[in-house]
Structure 1
């Protein structure tokens, strides 16, 4: 039966796996011995402080370059962006747990409940949850998606035309819809109004003002957007847009995927960093490739986040845009692919043989 000391030593050694293999071979016995000597009698588990310190120093040790004050910052930059991209991939996979979009029968029931007295006109066939040019994405379209047309990859929705009741004004229609939606359990958001001027005839001798009022609402896993368009004294035109909200599985999947991606990014950066410690013939080229990778990967993120955040603040959103859109993907996939190419180049250069073996450096 193992003694308390044996259990504690085994658990200390597990925590030392955060350190590089060569470092463990050279220092593990010494470190475990010091930790056991400092531990009081009867302890069987490392304290939280000891565990945190061993993990922190182990991760720092994986970066090498003990004299560098900035290597941890560069590693963090790489780990964060790797975590964001892997979280986006995991989130997209988790979106497959969402229910299919509503069909005509469910759409007709929603119209009857929200707008009694109105009819249902044309209903676009339910597309997939995410579509490319309104159609399911296929392998043959990946080149178009990744090489310039990524902005056309969007969340699918059911668009239905609503036939207005006779002699009903836009104001009456909007008031009825908001009241009925609340009565049937929908959370109704503040409507937004947009006005556009246009030509009333082909010679543009007269102009007309079109008013578009949008009413978003949410109930359960469905979002509803009612758009009412009026031009002068014409009968209002109505459209209904139905989508699915973010499935519950997306958040935990994104968190797990993000943590795994960030950890892998840190480890790969640390491997390349230790490989290219002086002397190494490819050190300069690896540094340049790394800088290009970070610039190409972070550029779409830094450009997209402020614009998308402003978009969310300017108008109500029953559900937020998917994570990958916040990262500028797949609209900015060209930059991502170029960054991936420079990252692979950096790793290939780091794998080149070093001029001479380096002794394992201790970390303060």
Structure 2
């Protein structure tokens, strides 16, 4: 039996913790003994290759089903999606470290710096970083959030109107704002232009052409968008400012840490259920079907949301990326997530049912 006082033996045993407990009890001494016999004299640490092989073999053992060639794929699917959802949850929690939304004084300071000589009008302050129909999300909104309105949960902004007729044309106003933003330390992005037609009166006797140009910029943890709306005929120009916070620094490490933790737990839970239902289990078929349903309900929104959001992100300039949960189709598809969570819990509950003993079954027959 390998001595526990040997540093190399202790380090080998630590690597064996990747294996299931029953496997370690039955084979740990034998495996450590073989590794020690093969190690050259004087070695105190496992090689990188040995460590990688022990970890890989341990994770593979945790999945059970040695005859299956695809169990690793199914485990990876479960681990990745669990990691993504855990990362999204962690990033949402990290958003709470952000500064409060801009108030009227901060909005007025930005307006004065960007559009000197203009008067600030009504300012619509935001009550939270993220809102549901312009209000903070509460437990009373959960039913609406799940049952179809999840897309209304979005990052909020502070909107301010500039009162009075601008003394310059739309083009001159945009040029001035672009220059002032750069001079005051903002990183300015390419403007986007939208054009549309509408009726000037209820009888639609006169058609108006409207051009709305959006100039985005970012400085520190604040993002600003200047909307310049020009209407012809008449050359009427309307100005509006929108301010919002960018993702705080804690979001990235929280997402990475939460993702790794969620993926690890997903792998371990899948391995536990896989070993439980490896053979002679009364609910093996049901657990497999429930796993397939769960993966479909969780992965389908991701596969639909990522291409659409990526196209949107590339088509329009974005000082910051959309929050991670939107890339997972959440909470717009939160009903599918909840249904998948229900099927996952049911599958785990069935996997916990005691297995049939093959010997007892044979004797009874």
Measured against the shorter chain, the TM-score band is over 0.9
Query: 2: distance between equivalents of 1:13 and 1:107?
Result: 60
**Alignment correspondent of 1:131:** 131
For residues 127 and 220 of structure 2, what CA distance do their matches in structure 1 show?
A: 20
Distance, in Å, in 2 between the alignment partners of 1:126 and 1:140 is 19
**Partner of 1:21 in structure 2?**
21
Q: Distance in 1 between matches of 2:5 and 2:279?
A: 40
CA contact (8 A) 1:5 1:44 kept: no
1:39 & 1:357 partners in 2: Cα distance? 41
Counterparts in 2 of 1:166 and 1:341: CA distance versus 1, 3 Å: closer
Stretches of structure 1 that go unaligned for 5 or more consecutive residues are: 359-364
Report the CA distance between 1:250 and its aligned residue. 0.5
* Contact 1:94 1:249 (8 Å CA) reproduced: yes
Distance 1:344 1:163 in 2: 56
For each residue in 1:283-302, what CA deviation from the matched residue of structure 2 results, as whole angstroms up to 9, or x when unmatched?
A: 11111000000000001000
Q: Secondary structure at the match of 2:224?
A: strand
Given that 1:188 and 1:216 are in contact with CA atoms closer than 8 Å, whether structure 2 keeps it comes out as: yes
Deviations 1:222-271 (A, max 9, x none): 00000010111333101111011111110000000000000000000000
SS at match of 2:193: strand
Q: For 1:308 and 1:162, locate their aligned partners in 2 and report how far apart those are by CA, in whole Å.
A: 31
Corresponding residue of 1:206: 206
Displacement after TM superposition at 1:166 (Å): 4.5
TM superposition shift of 1:165: 5.5
User: Could you give the per-residue CA deviations for residues 117-159 of structure 1, whole angstroms, max 9, x where no partner exists?
Assistant: 1110000123211111111111222222223221111111100
Counterpart residue number, 1:247: 248
SS in 2 for 1:148: helix
Report how many residues are paired: 356
Equivalent residues of 1:119, 1:165 under 8 A apart: no
Identify which range, 247-256 or 122-131, moves more after superposition. Answer: 122-131
Where does structure 2 lack aligned partners over 5 or more consecutive residues?
360-365
The residue aligned with 2:289 is: 288
Moved more, 35-44 or 175-184: 35-44
- Residues 235 and 206 of structure 1: is their aligned pair in 2 closer, same or farther, counting only changes over 3 Å? closer
Take 1:126 and 1:268, find their aligned partners in 2: how far apart are those partners?
41
SS at match of 2:144: helix
SS of aligned partner of 1:223: strand
Report the equivalent of 1:97: 97
Query: Does the 8 Å contact 1:4/1:43 carry over to 2?
Result: no
Instruction: Identify if the C-alpha distance between structure 1 residues 275 and 87 changes in structure 2 by more than 3 Å, giving closer, same or farther.
Output: same
Matched, 1:306 2:310: no
Aligned pair in 2 of structure 1 residues 117, 272: CA closer, same or farther (>3 Å)?
A: same
Find the residue that maps to 2:148 and give its secondary structure.
Answer: coil
* TM-score, length of structure 1 as denominator length: 0.95
Match of 1:114 in 2: 114
Secondary structure at the counterpart of residue 288 of structure 1: helix
Q: Give the aligned partner of residue 352 of structure 1.
A: 353
Tell whether the 8 Å contact from 1:221 to 1:245 is kept in structure 2 after alignment: yes
Partners of 1:110 and 1:22 in 2: how far apart? Answer: 64
TM-score, length of structure 2 as denominator length: 0.95
186-195 or 160-169, larger mean C-alpha shift: 160-169
Moved over 4 A (4+): none
CA RMSD of aligned residues (A): 1.4
Q: Is the 8 A contact 2:165 2:237 kept in 1?
A: no
Distance in 1 separating the partners of 2:188 and 2:164: 20
**Between 287-296 and 203-212, the greater mean CA deviation after superposition:** 203-212
- 1:238 alignment counterpart: 239
**Cα deviations by residue, 1:327-348 (Å, 9 ceiling, x for unpaired):** 0001100000110111011111
In the TM superposition, what is the alpha-carbon distance from 1:167 to its structure 2 partner? 3.3
Q: Distance in 1 between matches of 2:236 and 2:119?
A: 14
Going from structure 1 to structure 2, the CA distance change for 1:65 and 1:299 (only over 3 Å counts) comes to same
